[in-house]
Amino acid sequence: MKVPHVMPYQGSKRKLADAILQHVEGIDIDTFYEPFSGSGAITLAAAAKGVANKYVLNDKYAPIMDLWDLIINSPASAADRYEAVWEGQIPSSNDVEPISYSYDHFMEIRTLFNRDNDSAKLLYLLARCVKNAVRFNSNGEFNQSPDKRRKGTAPSKMRSNIFGASKILQGKSSLFSEDFKSVTSKATNNDLIYMDPPWQGTSTKKDTRYAFTLQIDELIGELEELNKRDVPYLLSFDGVCGDKSYGKDLPEHLRLRKTMLDAGRSSQAILLGREDKTLESLYLSPALVAKIEATKLSAAV
């Protein structure tokens, strides 16, 4: 089944979804948790594959979760409202210069969104902003500029993706906008958590890529707690691009199994004409490794 791509989002794990989810093939999972959902790429891929019975999406940035609620539970309204915002960037008169008109439209929508947090406006901003790279100012307001080379996902394609996502998740998903620990506290050994929090190197200071940052000690503390409760989880948290490293290995006492995923050339490398490849780390928890080994043994019998 083709996985719908609803929210264009730089840093999304959409292209790595198969490589990430291959680690849980054959494992029975009751509820799949994604406490740093963002674009929900891994949840969508997992639901399309039928990896779990239920799915929990959470993001501390409430407008994202309001948008997910609209997409999953009111797909027709989501598609209609997006189309109305998208069409507003097209001038009605041939006397108007299209590029400057659409630029002004984007900036107006951005201003309005920062006032009302309207879900359809957010979806348009995600689809149209430069490199789909979300940026926030110090007040937590969306402040990325529009990509002048394109208009964003066409309404017909967006409608198809919205209805596809709704079909996959409606009736078997729960949505939250809480601190990640509140959500992971509900998980048991029968569940699986996938985490893609703010990466190391960006978690100890304000970073414009995130509405909220995360202290490394807070994350490590929660991983320790999950290990105590024997909860299986996967964690994307650092990597390398060319000769640049993002963060250090997580502490050995967590007993995590680390594997590297080839994420291809970064968008920045492509723009600069460089061949630098990005390798992203994926950490497997002790409880998950135990389930993987048990599945292998069972299959070998």
pTM of the model: 0.90
Assign residue 273 a region: left if phi > 0, alpha if psi is -120 to 50, beta otherwise?
Answer: left
Bridge partners, residue 261, by sequence: 280
Determine the pLDDT at residue 244: 61
C-alpha dihedral sign at 267, 269, 272, 273: negative
Determine the pLDDT at residue 256: 97
Q: Which residues contact 138 (CB under 8 A, 6 or more apart)?
A: 206
Determine the pLDDT at residue 89: 95
Q: What is the largest CA-CA distance in the chain?
A: 74
Report the interhelical angle of 75-87 vs 62-73 (nearest 10°): 120
Domains annotated for the chain, with CATH where assigned, are: 1-234 (1.10.1020.10)
Give pLDDT tens digits along the chain (301 positions).
Answer: 689 999 987 767 888 999 999 999 999 999 999 999 999 999 999 999 999 999 999 999 999 999 999 999 999 999 999 999 999 999 887 767 888 899 999 999 999 999 999 999 999 999 999 988 889 998 889 999 999 989 999 999 999 999 999 999 999 999 999 999 999 999 999 999 999 998 555 444 455 555 556 888 999 999 999 999 999 999 998 766 655 666 677 899 999 999 999 887 655 544 445 556 778 999 999 999 999 999 888 777 6
Give CA 207 to chain center in angstroms.
17
Pick the closest to residue 143 from 119, 100, 107 (CA basis): 107
The answer to whether the beta carbons of residues 195 and 233 sit under 8 Å apart is: yes
Give CA 279 to chain center in angstroms.
18
